[in-house]
Structure 1
């Protein structure tokens, strides 16, 4: 039901309107009466009616003034002005105040009914729109965390697609020009302790997220293994050095919070300030590298501090990409040569090379290559490298990993090609009795005809035409042996339209015509 407030200084007018409306639309309204503008305002505040019928001329606070008061507080309330002919100009003025409609006294039944129906329709439409807005808001509130997870994982996994990133950033209302990454890495100590962590993993993650969001306004990644990554925007008006000092302070505060509340040791790695989303990915790799350094004397480390203090040459983004490209091309020798050159450059220092810095740099490189090649064994190898205490063993293990990842990529590619060709052969096996072409088969498995032709020959040992012809000839032999169909019928059955052409192909493949083949079979069969 709807609530209708009737404001008129004449009681008979109010009661007459109520009676008329009850008769026209029974069980639709709850009625309130106000004898003047002041009372109308009070009832509007107390009951918040859906509709108000307001007389313009009343003692004290008049109709238009009451409308101004009520509309200012409850703009969604629909108001209809009721006036005599003498005050018609006031009724028109009321429309500028947001009044829905007006009626002239005495109101006619048809006009009253039309106005009420219009008010109800508008109210229901508004309610539907409001409900849709609330549903969309609820869906958006559920979507925001998923979008945050997706964007942070894209930055971590090096799969930054400009359109997708822009869409996610727009959804999250992000307009970052610069920023940096902070990796929070929970220590994996005793196996029993790590098993206990798995039971409270979600609680730890939610607590960290709630702690950092108010102070950093950052993107928070899902927990991947034992790590959480924060992507933090650059604060305008601060120098890069001030930002670095602040980031170290925030890292210490987060570390203290986690260790005091949960008792788990936390290492924090912070990357350099970088521009754009590609730069954020680069900053993440830097943060992961210094976080992988297990030097216990400093558990909150900034990439710039490590590089400045160690004097060690670092691997550039261009060098990483060239090494990854060699792996993707499965050029094992080039990949090995590039890694060897990088290793030698990292070792060329005036001061003794620190194993922890060297190991962190190599692990950071391998993290990048793991993501770029979608390696499934990267975590195990990185865990192994983290425990090595000898530089030569570190170099040898990294080279071994490069060799094995190239072999694994080749095996994956072979499996993928085999799967594609199996699908193609199955398709050909179903269609060879029709007018099938190589182009049609290539399109079915979504390959270009040229590449499909080479792959087909490599996989089957024969070209497409010979393969289809062999299938047709084998089927022709089987049908001739059944002696169910004539040779002409067999010709059409196996995909040929010309019996003479069929006979020539048959003879070319089997050394005799279909007729000769049938006669030979008849001679062999017992009488």
Structure 2
């Protein structure tokens, strides 16, 4: 760390420098000031981490020097040095955020300990800064993922990280012939004053999100594209999205950048561009619940000459995909969907519904496994639905669709299968088996068993013995 001494008495200043250099050999005393004005000038020049500041100096006193230095060097730590044991000075120092205060003539040990405490404070601050910086980087990467996948909650996270955002846009960069292309945020920061978030996807595609607190010009995406081409050279393609204003849709800019990139690839013969293929790609993406995959093709469809006819075909295809999964279809009829945003929202919401359907299936499988492992548990439709985390009516519909039978019939079958296993072991009484498979009334258990196997439990057990 760098230390500066501001002290008008030469002997005091030199003595202080000598024992600081002895006690802290790995740190540097980078400057000495003989008055307040020089202290301000040297602080601006050397940017020290710690300043030992005498309060009473000719011209600008120590207090005023501290105030001036804090305007351009807010992170510096001060240790105030004075010959006066004055409460008024101490109170002023505290108001300025000064934590250490040394009386002259100070003992060497007291000064060393004060400097050591300040150094520890600085180390702790820097540790916290690094952690905060790490957390901020993670939060920015999460935001980028939210924007790319058009995740609910994107606007809230964007406003939290960039409350003063006025505009932003996306670039997507890809190396030709599947070669690796690397571009860092630090490199881009040399070419722009705006904030940059970069995501490197598997070494081939680079996604760049630019966010600015000012209103950028509409040609800013093209300007940055040209700057990257000029600075980096080489054979790579850049797709640019349109500028998004405050409250605009950054996800749309990302999709536009992807489409722009794909059009460039198309011109080189590597991207197939026919409307039928586009529809297939959208349908496939919706079935996979992949918003990111779907959106570039939706934008491409919006720009197609056959848009009106093909969007209606797309509408009924999506409706059928949802119907096949027992999901409610779109409320709006196709002739009422006038804008491109209406179609974007249809695909986005459909992908979300399909994704929720798949998650429900996962929960359904977990609930089924729980029933299989606990056949004796008292289970109602509401209990099973709560275990799956969905409504009872939706659970009932989904269970019958996926299992081919309703919940009551399934539970009964699993209980009776368990009862057969226990009967074969010939270890337990019929009453014990009844309780073990969830029936508190042995007579009712016998009736249910006979209905399914045409034999009572006792008759079934006897038939096993005869074999």
* TM-score using structure 1 length: 0.53
Q: Report the Cα offset of residue 231 of structure 1.
A: 7.7
Q: State the Cα distance separating 1:124 from its structure 2 match.
A: 1.7
Q: Indicate the residue corresponding to 2:158 in structure 1.
A: 168
1:495, distance to aligned residue in structure 2 (A): 2.0
- Preserved contact between residue 8 and residue 55 of structure 1 (Cα < 8 Å): no
Note if 1:484 corresponds to 2:463.
Answer: no
Q: Alignment partner for residue 140 of structure 1, among 130, 136, 141?
A: 136
Alpha-carbon distance, 1:198 to partner = 3.1
Q: Residue 432 of structure 1: CA displacement?
A: 0.7
CA distance in structure 2 between the partners assigned to 1:282 and 1:426 by the alignment: 44
User: 2:103 — aligned with what?
Assistant: 103
Of the three residues 436, 439, 448, the one matched with 2:379 is 436
Q: In structure 2, how many angstroms separate the alpha carbons of the residues matched to 1:255 and 1:46?
A: 34
Question: Corresponding residue for 2:145?
Answer: 150
Deviation at 1:491, TM superposition (A): 1.9
Extract unaligned runs of 5+ from structure 2. Answer: 327-353
SS for the counterpart of 2:252 is helix
1:470 matches 2:465: no
Q: How does 1:119-518 map to 2 (within 5 A)?
A: 120-137=116-133, 140=136, 144=140, 146=141, 149-150=144-145, 153-154=148-149, 159=150, 161=152, 163-172=153-162, 175-176=165-166, 197-200=176-179, 202=181, 210=188, 214=192, 250=222, 254=226, 257=229, 261-262=233-234, 276-278=247-249, 281=252, 288=259, 292=263, 416=358, 421-518=364-461
Whole-angstrom distance in 1 between the partners of 2:254 and 2:432: 71
> d(CA) in 2 for partners of 1:50 and 1:226?
45
What per-residue deviation string (whole Å, max 9, x for no partner) do you get for residues 126-164 of structure 1? 3311332244235535764x367436524xxxx263x32
Distance 1:395 1:510, change over 3 A: same
Distance of aligned partners of 1:500 and 1:128 in 2 relative to their CA distance in 1, 3 Å threshold: same
Cα contact 2:3–2:50 (8 A) shared by 1: yes
Q: 1:197: how far off?
A: 1.4
Q: Is the 8 A contact 2:198 2:208 kept in 1?
A: yes
Cα distance change of structure 1 residues 229 and 367 upon mapping to structure 2, 3 Å threshold: farther
Structure 1 residue ranges without an equivalent (≥5): 187-195, 300-358
SS of the counterpart of 1:484? coil
Note if 1:78 corresponds to 2:78: yes
Moved more, 285-294 or 117-126: 285-294
User: Residues 25-36 of structure 1: matches in 2 within 5 Å?
Assistant: none
Aligned equivalents of 1:80, 1:216: Cα separation in 2: 39
Higher Rg of the two aligned structures: 1
Give the structure with the larger helix fraction. Answer: 1
SS of match in other structure, 1:101: strand
Moved more, 113-122 or 474-483: 113-122
2:248 alignment partner, SS class: helix
Partner secondary structure for residue 79 of structure 1: strand
* Distance (Å, rounded) in 1 between the aligned partners of 2:161 and 2:42: 43
> How far has the Cα of 1:430 moved from its partner?
0.7
1:464–1:282 Cα change, 3 Å: same
**Aligned-residue RMSD, C-alpha:** 6.5
Could you give the per-residue CA deviations for residues 337-370 of structure 1, whole angstroms, max 9, x where no partner exists? xxxxxxxxxxxxxxxxxxxxxx899999888777
1:12-33 deviations in Å (ceiling 9; x for gaps): 9997x999x99xxx9579999x
d(CA) in 1 for partners of 2:171 and 2:6? 65
Contact 2:195 2:210 in 1 (8 A): no
Report if the CA contact (8 A) 2:399-2:406 is conserved. yes
CA deviation string 1:384-417 (max 9, x = no partner): 99xx9xx99x999999888877777677889947
- Equivalenced residues, count: 412
Q: Could you tell me which residue of structure 2 aligns to residue 315 of structure 1? A: none
Cα drift, residue 274 of structure 1: 7.7
In 1, the alpha carbon distance for the partners of 2:102 and 2:458 equals: 98
**Cα offset, 1:485, TM superposition:** 1.6
Following the alignment from structure 1 to structure 2, what is the Cα–Cα distance between the partners of residues 211 and 35? 36
